[in-house]
Homo-oligomer: A and B are copies of this chain.
Amino acid sequence: MTQTARQDNAAAAAAPETGIERLYSSELANETEFLAARARSVGSRRANEDLAALDLKVRSYSVLSLACSGLKPSQRELAEFLFLDPSQIVALVDALEKRGAVKRKADPRDRRSNIITPTAAGKRLYAEAAAIVQNAGNSALGALSPAERDQLRSLLRRVAFADQQPA
């Protein structure tokens, strides 16, 4: 609830150094690295806030989404794909399973593996969550035209998956 009063008055003219906007001209503010971090921060903050209505976060939403993808991912695959440790996946799947959104199923070809599939309730939850996330995303990307959003997504996709190959 911080109300940063605008200072576009006489005092501002006397002290134009006050105001964060002046930092926009810093070198840092032009590094892709920094901008990506900040853009993600803007986006996921908003998404987390909105997803709270469904008792989800971006993390659990991601797992639920992949569970609902029809691709029958194993926990190991979720970990690799989401850049998370397998032990973190355990906790995320636990929470989703406890609320009846997903099920663990032993892979018939390798009984060590747990394949994660959604329940009917899980699919409904995902539908709601996906709408919320899309909405939050649109809001975060409000400054861009539809074409620019596609462009951004396409560029990010190439960067995000360029490193996927085993190191």
Contact = CB atoms under 8 A, between A and B. Distances in A.
Interface of A: 2-4, 6, 15, 17, 20-44, 47, 58, 62, 65-66, 69, 71-73, 77, 80-81, 83, 109, 130, 133-134, 136-137, 140-144, 148-149, 151-153, 155-164, 166-167
Contact of A155 (B3, B80, B151): B151
A62 B28 CA distance: 7
Give the copy number.
2
A133 B26 contact: no
SS class of chain A's interface: helix, strand, loop or mixed?
Answer: helix
Contacts of A20: 77, 80-81, 164
Nearest to A163: B42
A135 to B, nearest CB: 11
A152 B32 contact: yes
Contact of A65 (B4, B27, B39, B65): B27
Given A23-B77, A31-B137, A130-B27, A155 B152 contact: yes
